[in-house]
Amino acid sequence: MGKILEQLQAVVRGNEKIAPIAKTLGFKLTHVEPGSASVEIDVDERFWNPMGTLHGGILCDITDAAMGLAYAAGLNDDESFTTIELKINYLRPFKEGHLKAIAKTVHRGRTVGVLDCEVFDDRGKIIARSSSTCLTLRGEQTKGRNF
């Protein structure tokens, strides 16, 4: 097991600090292994758009986090990554309650990976679906990495 995966699993166990964006928005990493991850969030009115429903940016944040963490969990110790494309479909409005974003790797090559993520409410209804393309970084490109 690589150092990145070890650190991420420590976050799930509550033994490691979470990323600043997770703290700011209040989402939690609840599962991680190479190629898959789950992020959960409790939604209330502080995340509403002018229509009184969940702002789409929050859905982008949790799906991007889940897919990025799923990808990061499979990196070697000398690698990092960046997201080069993110797409999301909003399937139904959501007002408040608990959401779970479940990400999985669709393809992982030496340099490029593709991931999918679905966001579910507590009744199991799908709220959004997202996909992402990630680029593996090596050498000098990994400078500044937080893992």
Give pLDDT tens digits for 131-146: 999 999 998 767 665 5
Evaluate whether 106 touches 114 at the Cβ level (below 8 Å): yes
- What's the pTM? 0.93
Q: What is the CATH T-level fold of the domain 3-142, as seen in this structure?
A: Thiol Ester Dehydrase; Chain A (3.10.129)
Question: pLDDT tens across 21-75, in order?
Answer: 999 999 999 999 999 999 999 999 999 999 999 999 999 999 999 999 999 999 9
Domain boundaries, the chain: 3-142
User: What are the backbone angles phi and psi of residue 101, rounded to the nearest 5°?
Assistant: -100, 125
Q: Which long-range contacts (CB under 8 A, 24 or more apart) does 1-5 make?
A: 2/75, 2/76, 2/77, 3/77, 3/147, 4/72, 4/73, 4/75, 4/77, 4/147, 5/32, 5/33, 5/34, 5/73, 5/74
